[in-house]
Amino acid sequence: MFATQNPPHESQSLIRTCWTPVTIRVAWELHRAGLPTRGDTLFEAREHVLLSLPSGLDSIRAERMATLLTREYVSRVDSRRYRARRESACSVEPRIRWQERLEGALDPLGKMVFRASYGDEMGLAEVSALTGVDQAELQSSREGVRGALRSILRADSISMAQSDVRQLDALLVRLACLPRSDCEGGVEVLQAGKRAHVEVCARCARAARLIRGGVLSPSDLLPPDVDGSASLSHTSVLALHLHPDARQHRDVIYEALGGQGVRADDDTLMVHPDRVGDLPSILWELAQRGTPMRHHIRGARVRGPGRWSDGALLGPVATAAVELTRSRQWGEIDDVGALPKPFPAPPASGHWGLIAVLLACFAVIGGVFAFGGADPGAVYPLQASFSRSDGWVAARFDAPDDAWLVAVVEGELGLELVHLSRNPSDKGELATGVGDYQLRWPGERMLLATLAVRPKEMQPLLRGAVSSEVPLEDFAQRLQVRYPGTGLQLQQSDSKDISKDEGR
């Protein structure tokens, strides 16, 4: 989390001031989302928040922003979404004296509704189930809370007293989470003589509940020793944005770059540029192959607060890079320049000569690769129908949710790995929306395979098959030997559409 290069004093102050209140709020949000707070999750979520907070914030503002930033972290890890979250509108800043006057004006039921409905953001049905109080009575009490706040605002000549319920509720949520004016950040929960404070301070009471529930440990609240040589870390990222017509190439780029990055949103790949050898040459080669075409990709490089983790890119540098790509021209990538045009297609005679050779070779070994019936040895049987048109091949297929998917296309440039699952769910990028999947790619024939285990590097198998007279069939054999129980579909060489049910 910490770097030793050019540390700004602001980040050291931020860590000292905001560590404990941010930790409490992050743990609370993770707990509400049903996520663990042990292992790396709490540490990474807290780090993302601290990296993203602007300098000069007080602990109350930092704590409030931690709610949005923790949800932002969860969205990155669970859904690969890297859009910045915006704070809900509220025309005035909450004041502690309003909270104190409000609680002084409420009866016991009103105080409970204020803390549960607004502080814990629980629905009235949930509050009713926990307390046994009728929902109608709770609703009436909540209206009383709103009315009491309107009276307080009118007394202070705050125009928001006349605002609609949505604005008023947003202010009540913020008021319910405010700590007492004498709160020292939440460390009071660790001090034996501060029990009276903990009971009445929203921040400290929440920390005590989290510790009693085993969600937090006391040591989590203690900030690290921060000296003059430590600051929040910075990193570099190259965001590659794909045109909607070229999103299917994202996995090809990911593999070509050695997996040194993360997929973001539906159309972006964020690459760690310092971990890729000759990045410009790789992107040039992909453009020359048309995977993707140069007018279907653009990229921006950014350096800023952030850190690469196993599950996501932490910090604001990620959203900054994603947003900056939208200002780049298609076909231009920072540090790479304008991409080249694709190689011209070979003469038609050579194309048909290659087809003739493949047809002849396939006829010789057709008995071996008839793929006519389901193999009971397949762990995840695969159903597919293939077609080809104007230099493209397409497959419509159905595969079990738990299967890893491999897709290889045979074309003029040889064998091309066009999909390699990193987890079973990434097949969703190919989903049709009606319960099956579809893949279309430039080439002549396609192979689809389902694996019961996460596939390792495919390149050795592809290199081993490239010298064969029938490389796609050779690769199929090597794949089945390497991964027993593979479900396999291999498009045949004749011109008609083929539909098979195969689990070889």
198 and 275 inside one domain: no
Domain for residue 323, yes or no? yes
300 and 435 inside one domain: no
Domain for residue 162, yes or no? yes
84 and 196 inside one domain: yes
User: What pLDDT is stored for residue 371 in this prediction?
Assistant: 40
Domain count, the chain: 3
Domain for residue 26, yes or no? yes
51 and 158 inside one domain: yes
User: What pLDDT is stored for residue 1 in this prediction?
Assistant: 44
Instruction: Classify 383 as helix, strand or coil.
Output: strand
Q: pLDDT by residue for the chain (504 residues), tens digit each?
A: 433 333 445 667 788 889 999 999 999 999 998 988 877 899 999 999 999 998 888 889 999 999 999 999 999 998 899 988 777 666 788 999 999 999 999 999 999 999 999 999 899 999 999 899 999 999 999 999 999 999 999 999 988 878 788 889 999 999 999 999 999 999 999 998 899 999 999 999 999 999 999 999 999 999 887 664 446 789 999 999 999 999 999 999 999 998 898 999 989 999 999 899 888 999 999 999 899 999 999 999 999 999 999 879 999 999 999 999 988 999 999 988 888 888 765 555 445 455 444 444 443 344 333 343 445 578 888 889 999 888 889 999 998 888 999 999 998 878 888 898 888 888 888 888 778 889 988 889 999 999 988 887 788 888 888 888 889 999 999 999 888 889 999 998 764 443 333 333
Look at residues 315, 338, 361 and tell me which one is the last residue of a structural domain. 338
Instruction: Classify 89 as helix, strand or coil.
Output: coil
User: What pLDDT is stored for residue 213 in this prediction?
Assistant: 92
Domain for residue 477, yes or no? yes
Q: What is the CA radius of gyration of the chain?
A: 29
184 and 47 inside one domain: yes
CB 378 within 8 A of CB 484: no
User: What pLDDT is stored for residue 188 in this prediction?
Assistant: 93
The CATH number covering residue 278 comes to: 3.30.70.1230
Q: 397 - beta bridge partners? A: 384, 437
Q: What single DSSP character describes residue 378?
A: -
433 and 285 inside one domain: no
User: What pLDDT is stored for residue 189 in this prediction?
Assistant: 92
217 and 278 inside one domain: no
* Rounded Cα gap, residues 234 and 317, in angstroms: 8
44 and 108 inside one domain: yes
The residue to which tokens 């009071």 are assigned:
188
187 and 44 inside one domain: yes
371 and 467 inside one domain: yes
User: What pLDDT is stored for residue 456 in this prediction?
Assistant: 79
Domain with 413 in it: 348-502
In 3D space, the residue among 291, 300, 287 whose CA is nearest the CA of residue 240 turns out to be 300
309 and 393 inside one domain: no
455 and 481 inside one domain: yes
Straight-line distance from the first to the last Cα atom of the chain, in angstroms, rounded to the nearest whole number: 48
Domain for residue 343, yes or no? no
User: What pLDDT is stored for residue 362 in this prediction?
Assistant: 45
Domain for residue 227, yes or no? no
Tokens of 98: 């309003």
User: What pLDDT is stored for residue 496 in this prediction?
Assistant: 45
What single string gives the DSSP state of each residue in 421-463? Answer: -SSGGGGGGGB-SSSSEEEEEESSEEEEEEESS-----HHHHH
Look at residues 162, 195, 221 and tell me which one is the last residue of a structural domain. 221
Domain for residue 228, yes or no? no
Q: How, if at all, do strands 437-442 and 382-389 pair?
A: unpaired
Q: How, if at all, do strands 437-442 and 392-398 pair?
A: antiparallel
Note if the pTM is more than 0.75.
no
Supply φ then ψ for residue 393, to 5 degrees. -115, 150
Look at residues 221, 246, 271 and tell me which one is the last residue of a structural domain. 221
Domain for residue 132, yes or no? yes
Q: What single DSSP character describes residue 131?
A: H
